[in-house]
Amino acid sequence: MNNHEVSPKHPRATSLRIRVQLVQGFETGVTSLFGLFAHGRGEAFDYLIGEITTENARRAIRVAAACLLLAQNPVLSVNGNVAALVPKELVKLAKFSDAKLEINLYHPSIKRAKAIAMVLRSAGAKEIYGTDSKFHETIPEIFSDRRVVDHRGLFIADSVFVPLEDGDRTEGLVKLGKQVITVDLNPLSRTAQMATITIVDNVVRALPLMIEFCKELRKDSDDHLRKIANNFDNRENLSEAIRLINERLRILANTKSIQSTGE
């Protein structure tokens, strides 16, 4: 593997380190070439947000944690980007929300699914769904190759966590009546707009927080969790996320020395 060392003195070291994780994911067959494009799009929106978890995102993360805990059959969907960026966090989140982990790729490949399963196993995952064709089921509401899901996982799930998801599939999952929770830096994407709960944040910042909320909220009663879940309006959440970007840009446009990120 190539050496992609990032100097800690580089002003954008954090962002570069995340990029390196994805490039290494690509080199080890975990991330697809298309995934790298998706990451670039995410980075652009992260710049606009200020590379911080906003209060707006934090609220959505707490609601998402409550919903996963309330679900009968929660499933965390894993693609090549999240496997490269947050494998340990995915395994922890599955543990603390009692959710299943399912590998589901937009550009399906048995080889890549195996590479992702290996990454998840070394991160501590015991059971991984989506890799055994014996359990494959086709969802007609989805038109892409990604319509194949695991009968024991996404197919029967009531709540699905699909970070960095494609719009068509999100729409298909919503049509099937599933609660769809996503993490998407672009509040304007079709996924962000279609999902039941949209966390407008970088998945590397959102996942650790989601784990913390799950740990904290799993001690609470279902009644309390339901109160948290019901006190949330995704339309309003998205409007606020867009307003925050707008407001930030307005302030930056009127500031002489531009501090581009929140770091």
Residues that bind Mg ion (CB under 5 A): 166-167
Q: Choose the contact partner of 186 out of ligand ATP, Mg ion, none; CB within 5 to 8 A by kind.
A: ligand ATP
Residues near 219 by Cβ (< 8 Å), separated by ≥ 6? none
Beta bridge partners of 102: 77, 129
Beta bridge partners of 103: 78
Residue with smaller CB distance to ligand ATP, 183 or 228:
183
In angstroms, the first-to-last Cα distance of the chain is 30
Binding of residue 208 to ligand ATP (CB under 6 A): no
- Of 24-32, 97-105, 160-168, 239-247, the window that binds ligand ATP (rule: CB under 6 A) is 160-168
Local structure of residue 214 (DSSP, 8 states): H
The token pair at 188 is: 């304007």
Binding of residue 89 to ligand ATP (CB under 6 A): no
Which residues, numbered 108-147, are part of the site for ligand ATP (CB under 6 A)?
none
From CA 263, how far away is CA 70, in angstroms rounded? 35
Interface pick for ligand ATP out of 32, 53, 54, 189 (rule CB under 6 A): 189
- Reported as type and span, the H/E element at residue 53 is none
- Give me the count of residues in the chain: 263
Q: Which residue is nearest to ligand ATP (CB)?
A: 42
- Of 23-31, 124-132, 180-188, 225-233, the window that binds ligand ATP (rule: CB under 6 A) is 180-188
From CA 40, how far away is CA 50, in angstroms rounded? 15
Q: Choose the contact partner of 39 out of Mg ion, ligand ATP, none; CB within 5 to 8 A by kind.
A: ligand ATP
Residue with smaller CB distance to ligand ATP, 21 or 97:
21
Q: Quote the least distance from Cβ 230 to ligand ATP, whole Å.
A: 26
168 to 38, 87, 171: CA distances (angstroms): 15, 25, 5
Binding of residue 79 to ligand ATP (CB under 6 A): no
Residue with smaller CB distance to ligand ATP, 50 or 167:
167
From CA 111, how far away is CA 113, in angstroms rounded? 6
Q: Choose the contact partner of 89 out of ligand ATP, Mg ion, none; CB within 5 to 8 A by kind.
A: none
Q: Choose the contact partner of 183 out of Mg ion, ligand ATP, none; CB within 5 to 8 A by kind.
A: ligand ATP
Which of 57, 55, 66 is closest to 215 using CA atoms? Answer: 66
Residue with smaller CB distance to Mg ion, 194 or 209:
194
232 to 4, 57, 150, 198, 261: CA distances (angstroms): 42, 12, 30, 11, 28
Q: Choose the contact partner of 155 out of ligand ATP, Mg ion, none; CB within 5 to 8 A by kind.
A: none
- Reported as type and span, the H/E element at residue 188 is none
Residues at the site binding ligand ATP, with contacts judged by CB under 6 A: 38-39, 41-42, 45, 164, 166-167, 183-186, 189-191, 202-203
